[in-house]
């Protein structure tokens, strides 16, 4: 077996993003619909109709650009 590393999906759900921010998902959606983003993070509409928040941007917002978790998320997409 090779040295395979599972990569997280490039998007996270609204409920996961809200949990990281310790807010209600509806608060996140309200801000999105009012301003078009949440502190600069813009979701994409996924094929299933749900919103997908870019994991790298979310981790940078939540943990800061230099934080280890944010750096790991960046490494996944490089």
Asked if 60 contacts 70 with a C-beta cutoff of 8 angstroms, the reply is yes
Rounded CA gap, 44 and 41, in Å? 10
Per-residue pLDDT, 7 = 81
Query: Residue 2: what pLDDT?
Result: 60
For the record, the structure tokens of 48 come out as: 């299933």
In-domain check, residue 5: no
Report d(CA 64, CA 78) in Å as an integer: 18
Domain count, the chain: 1
pTM equals 0.76
Is 34 part of a structural domain of the chain?
Answer: yes
Task: Encode pLDDT of 9-58 as tens digits.
Answer: 899 999 999 999 999 999 999 999 999 999 999 999 999 999 999 999 99
Kindly report each contact of residues 58-66 with a partner whose C-beta sits within 8 Å and lies 24 or more positions away, as own/partner: 58/12, 58/17, 58/20, 62/20, 62/21
Domain that holds residue 39: 11-76
Where residue 38 sits, what CATH number does that domain have?
Answer: 1.10.1660
pLDDT band, residue 77 (cuts 50/70/90): very low
């Amino acid at each position: 077996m090779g040295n395979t590393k599972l990569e997280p999906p490039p998007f996270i759900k609204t409920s996961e993003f809200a949990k990281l921010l310790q807010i209600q998902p509806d608060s996140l959606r309200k801000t999105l619909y009012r301003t078009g983003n949440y502190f600069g993070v813009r979701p994409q509409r996924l094929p299933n109709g749900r919103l997908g928040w870019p994991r790298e941007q979310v981790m940078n917002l939540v943990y800061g650009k230099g934080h280890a978790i944010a750096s790991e998320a960046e490494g996944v997409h490089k």
